[in-house]
Structure 1
Amino acid sequence: MFDYSKLITGDMPGDKIQIGDSHIKRSDTVFPILLKKVKASGKTKIVISVYGGSGVGKSEIGSLLATRFRSNGYGAYVLSGDNYPYRIPAENDRERENRFRYGGLSAIAESDGFCSDWMDIVHDAWLSGADADPELAEKYEFMRDYQEAGKTALSAFLCTPEEIDFGLVNRIIKKFKHGEKQISLKRMGRAPEELYFESVDFSSTKILIIEWTHGNNSALEGVDFPVFLYSTPEQTLEHRISRARDKGVDSPFTSIVLEIEQQKLNEQAQTASITIGKDGELIV
């Protein structure tokens, strides 16, 4: 039986993983398929991405896969993609909210029936954090337009090179595949002073596993085998609430973020090497 006591974990500062039966079941399903693909590739350096919605188990499954590769003679490293937004989490959350709000505000300001009194309602909603609440759109027709335009503006930012430094990750992948022994990797905690770089020894690493929501994004280059951990937005929200890593995880705005993320992930599913459901079932 495989020994799970000595795991290779990701490199996100302060991140903690909690291995459960679901993670083990999914890794047990995925690993033999990946091992076969790695052996058949004939490559000396392989990049695998483990991707899916927030809280779906990417960190845990990435760690399990890396550890199993090591036990089969393949040096492995787990790179956490959450180190690579341009902004620390709190600042990035604010930028997402700003994009949503400015997009919504601009749309209603340019509408034919614009009324200055709407601003009081919008500003009150900002203060209470309710401007993304569907109930407000049911009460005020202009807030429906506000929310739809806000979603469009947010979608144009979310998961894109405006939000994420894909260029840096691509250069890291390129250096790894070219066999560079020392590569500088980014570390980003939750405070500005927790942003730094660290030189990592890759001389004995054959498998680079990237655990990341954006692990199959079209802006990401050089991934050999993307593994999609499928979940519904409802399941993702449940994971986020149980993890309780950030405030407001169950807010209407967060629900919109998860909805947009999931839509983009589903669009990328057709190019995944492996897609696996929450209960460990392979999805074709």
Structure 2
Amino acid sequence: MAIDLKQYKDIPHGDMPGDKVEIGEEHVKKAQLIMESLKGMLDEVIAKDGKAVITVCGGSGVGKSETASLLSYFLNEQGIGAYTMSGDNYPRRIPMYNDAERLRIFRTAGVRGLVKAGEGTMEHFDTIRKWQQEETDADRSHVSENPWAASYIDAGRKGLEGYLGTTNEIDFDEVSSIVKAFKSGQNKIYLKRMGRTDSELWYEEVDFSTIKVLVIEWTHGNSDHYEGVDIPILLNSTPEETLAHRRARNRDGKTDSAFTMLVLELEQNLLASQAHKAKIILSKAGELLSFDQYKELMNK
């Protein structure tokens, strides 16, 4: 049965400035399915604590913003006040600078790794510089003809692992303080707003006096670096599904850089390491998964 999307066209979305939220039929079906599993869990938490924090996490293009917005909408329709907060407002740097910092860390660690491996010749540095200018220095295919490049890529990867999704990249303390203030019953809470440039940064006072459920939509929503989440929800996609989605979205035919693909892979690894905590796991195809089923799917 087809779903009439008109009623969802103007529903409130998350609070990330400029975030594009396009609700489709698949998002509605997933949100409805989640609501069926969520109801009992939510009733239990609210009965105990008066308020609840849900997080909707997952990788690139899995529909976090759309699904979280719909969950808040459905809860509000049932008379349970809900607000959708975007965790993407809480990195330590604006996106432009954070992207640059990720690349700086990868390249700095890579060059140091090259030196440590005894491969720091000027010839190798010149080749690395050429790849950097081409934005292909994270491409592992270079190793087949240049075995020494493995030292650069492996060290860069390790350096990036020490930054992505950590307290170095994200202000988890601020998110924790918001969750704590919400659960303690604070009626007015200032929430951060972050755009794409350094002039797009401000705070907005949000009225939580009628809100019982805080829905956080965020890749790192299930992270170990902050506390207070009652019901983590994982929207899963396999690496192949994520890649297919990104290829379909790039209508101009431009493919992601090797570095972007490395970032996505490392984020996928983080999500996998945290998946055991999820109370609800939903596949890309819209099927509820147990943790064992999730592991089986990801190990195929």
Which position in structure 2 is the counterpart of 1:270? 276
Q: Distance in 2 between matches of 1:210 and 1:177?
A: 14
Distance 1:97 1:11, change over 3 A: same
Which position in structure 2 is the counterpart of 1:171? 177
Runs of 4+ in 1 over 6 A off after TM superposition: none
Unaligned runs of 5+ in 1: none
The one of 145, 153, 157 equivalent to 2:159 is: 153
Q: Distance in 2 between matches of 1:102 and 1:46?
A: 42
Deviation string 1:231-264 (CA, Å, 9 cap, x unpaired) is 12232244445556xxx87111111111111011
Answering whether residue 35 of structure 2 is matched by residue 31 of structure 1, we say yes
Deviation string 1:117-151 (CA, Å, 9 cap, x unpaired) is 11100111111111011221222111111111111
Which position in structure 1 is the counterpart of 2:221? 215
Q: Distance in 2 between matches of 1:59 and 1:240?
A: 16
Which position in structure 1 is the counterpart of 2:95? 89
Distance 1:74 1:223, change over 3 A: same
Distance 1:88 1:8, change over 3 A: same
Which position in structure 1 is the counterpart of 2:61? 55
Identity value in percent: 44
Distance 1:145 1:46, change over 3 A: same
Which position in structure 2 is the counterpart of 1:120? 126
Q: Distance in 1 between matches of 2:201 and 2:73?
A: 27
Q: Distance in 1 between matches of 2:201 and 2:249?
A: 23
Distance 1:18 1:178, change over 3 A: same
Q: Distance in 1 between matches of 2:230 and 2:255?
A: 32
Cα RMSD, aligned residues only: 1.8
Answering whether residue 110 of structure 2 is matched by residue 104 of structure 1, we say yes
Normalised to the residue count of structure 2, the TM-score between the two structures is 0.90
Query: How many aligned positions are there?
Result: 282
Normalised to the residue count of structure 1, the TM-score between the two structures is 0.95
Task: After TM superposition, list the pairs within 5 Å mapping 1:57-72 onto structure 2.
Answer: 57-72=63-78
Which position in structure 2 is the counterpart of 1:283? 289
Deviation string 1:143-173 (CA, Å, 9 cap, x unpaired) is 1111111111101100000000100000000
Superposed displacement of residue 115, structure 1: 2.0
Supply the AA of the counterpart residue of 1:25: K
Superposed displacement of residue 22, structure 1: 1.7
User: Per the alignment, in what secondary structure is the counterpart of residue 209 of structure 2?
Assistant: coil
Matched-pair contact (CA < 8 Å) for 1:180–1:203: yes
Q: Distance in 1 between matches of 2:247 and 2:171?
A: 27
Superposed displacement of residue 6, structure 1: 4.3
Answering whether residue 61 of structure 2 is matched by residue 46 of structure 1, we say no
Matched-pair contact (CA < 8 Å) for 1:48–1:207: yes
Superposed displacement of residue 205, structure 1: 0.6
